[in-house]
């Protein structure tokens, strides 16, 4: 038969390679694709599919899942167990090999209060997602100009000396306060209309971390508002940003700063 003839041909080719002292011809199988981790909502809908490696941090997966859910943070659940999202928790450490489906669960938003950095104002996020501010007007205590935008969907707030910036569930950023407090997002406004998951402030600048791991900064250049010198390093992979009086530091998914 044709199948038997094919086997004879394969055995003949293998025998010829062995007689010549060479190894059998290499396998022509394609290279394996990177494993994919499927993240589902509580309703069972797929939020995203993440290409992972054993070293992929679960905190990075959770950050992307939270952005897809439109919330500030979420827990990841596999087989009924809440996964540890600490800085050292990885796909391999959680015994996830790719191909599995895990569930992202939005964390409840408690009352949260934020203070302007070195200023004289406060901002608070209420359980219903609205935000209010009080204190010195020159420190961001007056949010009347953006009250309608702060009526719902606020998940995080950061402050400078004279302004606040709020992240909403749709990934946009709303800023208010004095001009000296860099409330005007200026040339980066288009980058802040969606995809932002967290903001941080120095004394007179803001930095926003986006869902794709990139970072956008604005404000006084001498206080961290100009990140052009590190633009290539901030194009992706950033998971956290923190600010001092006049500088920012970003932590990347590979553990570098």
Tell me, what's the pLDDT at 62?
87
Return the half-sphere exposure (C-beta side, CA atoms, 13 A cut-off) of residue 215. 29
For the chain, domain boundaries: 36-105, 112-252
**How far is residue 146's CA from residue 228's CA, in Å, rounded to a whole number?**
29
What DSSP assignment string belongs to 151-196? SS-EEEEEE-SSEEEEEETTS-EEEEE-GGGT---GGGGGGGSS-E
Tell me, what's the pLDDT at 67?
80
Tell me, what's the pLDDT at 32?
53
**How far is residue 257's CA from residue 253's CA, in Å, rounded to a whole number?**
9
Which residues are registered as beta bridge partners of 94? none
Which residues are registered as beta bridge partners of 210? 196
For 112-252, give the CATH class: mainly beta
Instruction: Note the pLDDT tens digit of each residue in 69-108.
Output: 877 678 888 887 888 888 778 888 888 876 788 988 877 6
- This prediction has a pTM of 0.61
The dihedral region occupied by 237, where left means phi > 0, alpha psi between -120 and 50, and beta the remainder, is left
Tell me, what's the pLDDT at 176?
94
Tell me, what's the pLDDT at 225?
92
Tell me, what's the pLDDT at 17?
44
What CATH architecture does domain 36-105 belong to?
Roll (3.10)
Residue spans of the chain under pLDDT 50: 1-6, 9-10, 12-14, 16-18, 31
Shared fold status for 36-105 and 112-252: no
Q: Are 212 and 195 in contact (CB under 8 A)?
A: yes
Which residues are registered as beta bridge partners of 115? 122
Tell me, what's the pLDDT at 43?
77
């Amino acid at each position: 038969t044709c199948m038997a003839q094919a086997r004879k041909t394969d055995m003949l080719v293998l025998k010829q390679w062995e007689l010549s002292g060479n190894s059998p011809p290499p396998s022509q199988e394609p290279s394996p694709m990177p494993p994919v981790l499927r993240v589902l909502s509580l309703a069972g809908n797929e939020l995203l599919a993440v290409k992972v490696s054993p070293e992929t941090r679960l905190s990075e997966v959770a950050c992307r899942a939270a952005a897809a859910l439109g919330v500030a943070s979420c827990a990841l659940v596999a087989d009924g167990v809440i996964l540890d999202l600490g800085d050292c928790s990885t796909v391999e450490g959680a015994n996830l090999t790719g191909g599995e489906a895990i569930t992202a669960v939005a964390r409840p938003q408690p009352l949260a209060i934020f203070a302007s950095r070195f200023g004289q104002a406060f901002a608070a996020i209420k359980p219903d997602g609205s935000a209010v501010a009080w204190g010195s007007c020159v420190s961001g205590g007056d949010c009347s100009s953006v009250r309608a935008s702060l009526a719902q969907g606020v998940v995080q707030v950061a402050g400078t000396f004279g302004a606040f910036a709020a992240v909403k569930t749709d990934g946009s950023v709303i800023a208010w306060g004095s001009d000296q407090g860099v409330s005007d997002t200026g040339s980066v406004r288009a980058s802040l209309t969606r995809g932002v998951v967290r903001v941080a402030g120095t004394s007179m600048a803001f930095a926003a971390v986006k869902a794709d791991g990139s970072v956008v900064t604005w404000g006084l250049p001498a206080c961290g508002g100009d990140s052009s010198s590190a633009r290539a390093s901030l194009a992706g992979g950033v998971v956290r940003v923190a600010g001092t009086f006049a500088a920012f530091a970003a932590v990347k998914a590979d553990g570098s700063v």
